[in-house]
């Protein structure tokens, strides 16, 4: 039991009421912070992290509903009590639907207000305790293998995994970066499984798999007759995922017109189906992923800068498998064990020579390629041991030297050319990354990421 006083943040544009409430609440044993505008109120919120917010609905510029939405993004568990006049009662009801704990009508009795605040504080405390217990339980299940936890021991991979576990409880949008096949969807599902939304749906869509008009229909829904073939109303995936998580894979492939509509979803928390005029509120945690260099796409006009900042609230970067060689045996044994169990086969092992070949391969297709190679080997192996003969020729070939040498291989990929050019510029600039970034025409942060991605020696 703590003697610390609960901190209440009062946000109201009427100074006399703020002063009166400050005196009242301090007399009732609370600590009080205050603000006369929504913008300043959010600054106070970030500075003090109050136990409860007492918020007026009608304020100039930024009203109470907008402040509530911003608070919910920052801290979903903080209780918010709305103060409202009769004329704005509908706004208060909307705010309660958006997550306000309670509302009181002005003028109110002091005793009534204090009782509501105490109940809301108790409710917030119990909710935080319950969420904490649930998160702890889910993380315990992950550690003992009851949840499918991503596998790996490489430092960069573990850093990403620990970050995913630490942010799973929040409502913040997450952007997962990594080459194709590095396990971005597995990470997204793991974050969902650890989150307070885990009991609700996890839906996913690949933005590169559908043409623009069909993608918009899948994401936002459509009304009957809105285009040829729309013979009935269709619920979009943002609405269908209500209460859960929505994984938007390859978001960098999204057309500019669809990017505008996605930005609206993130800003307004509502969608307008194709052909409709009325917005539909949505309650979903968005996790996006890309294998593209979005900063470069912003510079070329391919991707919207404002959407990028909305998506990139929390960023996770998954290293390619060639940078986690020690994880190859772990992953290979995991895939082998799962396949054998799913197919009811006798136990199989991977010979030392075969494992050496697997570890030596550069895995351009990353974890997905390794999984496919193990599945092929299981099918082709009659006995109990997987030998090199069961592996594809491309895997058994000795890896080529990277292009950073003086003798580049013929017809190199764009990735290999980029790696070589970055290494060349770094060498020409004496290892000075700031000057090298200027020569390359990219941000220093982008250069650091590419150095890590390619393992370039500086």
Question: Lowest-confidence range among 33-37, 92-96, 358-362?
Answer: 92-96
The per-residue pLDDT for 234 is 84
Per-residue model confidence (pLDDT) at position 87:
47
For residue 388, name the pLDDT band (cuts at 50, 70, 90): very high
pLDDT confidence of residue 269: 87
pLDDT: which is higher, 430 or 390:
390
Pick from 72-76, 220-224, 328-332 the range whose average pLDDT is largest. 328-332
| From-to residues of CATH 1.10.10 in the chain | 414-454
Start-end ranges of CATH 3.40.50.300 in the chain? Answer: 148-317
Average pLDDT on 41-57 reads 90
pLDDT in the model for residue 372: 94
pLDDT at site 144: 43
Q: Tell me what the pLDDT averaged over the chain comes to.
A: 85
| Confidence label for 134 from pLDDT (cuts 50, 70 and 90) | low
Give the model's pLDDT for residue 24: 93
The answer, yes or no, to whether residue 101 has pLDDT greater than 90, is: no
Residues 257-278 have a mean pLDDT of 88
pLDDT digits (tens, 9 = 90+) for 405-426: 444 455 566 677 888 888 888 8
The topology under which CATH files domain 321-396 is Helicase, Ruva Protein; domain 3 (1.10.8)
26 vs 108, higher pLDDT: 26
Task: Tell me where in the chain the CATH 3.40.50.2300 domain(s) lie.
Answer: 7-131
Q: What is the pLDDT of residue 351?
A: 94
> In this predicted model, what pLDDT tens digit does every residue of 150-206 receive, in sequence order?
889 988 899 899 899 888 888 889 999 999 999 999 999 999 998 889 889 999 999
Rounded average pLDDT over 64-92 = 77
Q: Does pLDDT of 387 surpass 90?
A: yes
Domain 148-317 in CATH 3.30.1050.10? The answer is no
Query: Are the CB atoms for 426 and 456 separated by under 8 Å?
Result: yes
444-454 and 433-440 helices cross at what angle (nearest 10)? 100
- What pLDDT score was predicted for residue 379? 92
pLDDT band at 365 (very low <50, low <70, confident <90, very high): very high
Question: What pLDDT score was predicted for residue 441?
Answer: 79
Q: Which pairing describes strands 234-235 and 270-271: parallel, antiparallel, or unpaired?
A: unpaired
pLDDT at 139 over 60: no
Mean pLDDT of 264-288: 88
pLDDT value, residue 407:
47
The pLDDT, as a whole number, for residue 416 is 75
pTM recorded for the entire structure: 0.60
Q: How confident is residue 401, by pLDDT bands cut at 50, 70 and 90?
A: low
Instruction: Please give the Cα distance from 179 to 162 (Å, whole number).
Output: 20
> Domain 7-131 belongs to what topology?
Rossmann fold (3.40.50)
pLDDT at 410: 54
Average pLDDT of 125-146?
Answer: 56
Angle between helices 366-380 and 352-360 in degrees, nearest 10: 150
CATH number (1.20.120, 1.10.3470, 1.10.10, 1.10.287) of 414-454 reads 1.10.10
């Amino acid at each position: 039991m703590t003697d610390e006083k609960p901190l209440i943040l009062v946000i109201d544009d009427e100074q006399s009421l703020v002063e009166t409430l400050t005196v009242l609440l301090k007399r009732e044993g609370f600590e009080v912070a205050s603000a006369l505008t929504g913008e300043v109120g959010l600054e106070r919120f970030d500075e003090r992290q109050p136990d409860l917010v007492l918020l007026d609905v009608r304020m100039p510029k930024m009203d109470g509903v907008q402040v509530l939405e911003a608070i919910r993004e920052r801290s979903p568990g903080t209780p918010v009590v709305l103060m409202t006049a009769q004329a704005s009662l509908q706004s208060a009801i909307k705010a309660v639907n958006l997550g306000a704990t309670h509302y009181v009508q002005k003028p109110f009795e002091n005793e009534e207000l204090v009782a509501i605040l105490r109940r809301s504080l108790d409710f917030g405390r119990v909710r935080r305790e319950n969420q904490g217990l649930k998160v702890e339980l889910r993380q315990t299940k992950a550690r003992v293998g009851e949840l499918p936890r991503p596998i790996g021991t490489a430092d960069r991979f573990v850093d990403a995994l620990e970050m995913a576990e630490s942010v799973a409880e929040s409502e913040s949008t997450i952007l997962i970066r990594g080459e194709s096949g590095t396990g971005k969807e597995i990470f997204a599902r793991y974050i969902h499984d650890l989150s307070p939304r885990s009991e609700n749906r996890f839906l996913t869509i690949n933005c590169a798999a559908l043409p623009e008009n069909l993608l918009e229909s899948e994401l936002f829904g459509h009304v009957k007759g809105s285009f040829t073939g729309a013979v009935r109303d269709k619920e979009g995936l943002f609405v269908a995922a209500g209460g859960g998580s929505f994984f938007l894979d390859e978001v960098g492939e999204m057309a500019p017109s669809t990017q505008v509509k996605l930005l609206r979803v993130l800003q307004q928390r509502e969608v307008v189906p194709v052909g409709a005029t009325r917005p539909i509120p949505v309650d979903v945690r968005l996790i996006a992923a890309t294998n593209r260099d979005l900063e470069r796409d912003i510079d070329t006009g391919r991707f919207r800068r404002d959407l990028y900042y909305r998506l990139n609230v929390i960023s996770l970067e998954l290293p390619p498998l060639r940078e986690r060689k020690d994880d190859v045996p772990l992953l290979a044994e995991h895939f082998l064990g799962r396949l054998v169990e799913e197919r009811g086969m006798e136990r199989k092992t991977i010979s030392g020579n075969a494992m050496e070949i697997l570890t030596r391969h550069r895995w351009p297709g990353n974890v997905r390629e390794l999984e496919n190679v193990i599945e092929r080997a299981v099918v082709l192996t009659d006995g109990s041991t997987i030998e090199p003969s069961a592996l594809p020729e491309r895997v058994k070939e000795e890896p080529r030297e990277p292009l950073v040498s003086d003798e580049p291989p013929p017809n190199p990929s764009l990735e290999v050319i980029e790696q070589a050019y970055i290494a060349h510029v770094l060498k020409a600039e004496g290892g000075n990354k700031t000057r090298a970034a200027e020569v390359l025409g990219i941000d220093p942060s982008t250069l650091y990421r590419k150095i890590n991605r390619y393992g370039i020696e500086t």
